[in-house]
C-alpha cells in the first residue's frame, strides 16, 4: 500500500488505521521530519517527495516496491490549498498547488503501479 500526503491530517490518520489492521505501507510526503518520525513510529517505508524532486522527473517508487512489497493499493491523498482567491494568488503558489493537486497524482498512479498505466492507455 502506498499513501501520499501521509505525514499529517487525513493521510496520517489513514496510515495509522491501515497499520492497525496489519497493512504494510509505504509513506510519501513532502515534509522530511514528519514522514521520518511517522515511519519510525509505525515501522513503515518513507519516501520524501520534494518539489525539487518532482521537477526533475516523475515520482519513482521502485524502492517502496522492493522494501514494502508491491503497490496493490494506492491512496492518492496529497493535497495543497492556497489562501485567498484564485485571481489574487501569486503565480508560483498556483503552480505549486497545481503540481501537488493534479500533476503528482496523475504521475503517481503509473509510477507506483505500471498496470494502472497500461489499463489507462487501453481505455483512452
pLDDT in tens, 58-98: 555 555 554 666 777 888 888 887 777 777 778 888 888 88
Sheet with 45-48: strands ordered across: 45-48, 26-29, 2-4, 74-75
Residue 17 confidence (pLDDT) above 90: yes
Using CA atoms, how far apart are residues 21 and 99, in angstroms rounded to an integer?
A: 32
Q: What is the pLDDT of residues 96-115, one digit of tens each?
A: 888 888 887 777 777 666 66
Predicted confidence at residue 10, as pLDDT, reads 93
Domain holding 36, by residue range, is 2-123
Q: What is the per-residue pLDDT for 123?
A: 52
- Write the CATH number for 60: 3.40.50.720
Quote the pLDDT of residue 13. 94
Backbone φ and ψ of 24, nearest 5°: -90, 120
Domain count, the chain: 1
| Residues 6+ positions from 6 with CB-CB distance below 8 Å | 12, 14, 15, 25, 27, 28, 29, 35, 38, 77
Whole-model pTM: value is 0.72
Amino acid at each position: 500500500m502506498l499513501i501520499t500526503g501521509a505525514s499529517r491530517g487525513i493521510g496520517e490518520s489513514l496510515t495509522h488505521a491501515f497499520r492497525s489492521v496489519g497493512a504494510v505501507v509505504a509513506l510519501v510526503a513532502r515534509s522530511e521530519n514528519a514522514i521520518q518520525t511517522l515511519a519510525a513510529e509505525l515501522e513503515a517505508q518513507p519516501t520524501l517527495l520534494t518539489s525539487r524532486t518532482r521537477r526533475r522527473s516523475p515520482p519513482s517508487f521502485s524502492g517502496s516496491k522492493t522494501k514494502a512489497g508491491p503497490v496493490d493499493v494506492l491512496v492518492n491523498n496529497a493535497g495543497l490549498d492556497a489562501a485567498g482567491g484564485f485571481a489574487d494568488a501569486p503565480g508560483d503558489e498556483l503552480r505549486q498547488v497545481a503540481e501537488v493537486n493534479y500533476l503528482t497524482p496523475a504521475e503517481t498512479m503509473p509510477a507506483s503501479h505500471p498496470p494502472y498505466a497500461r489499463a489507462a492507455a487501453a481505455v483512452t
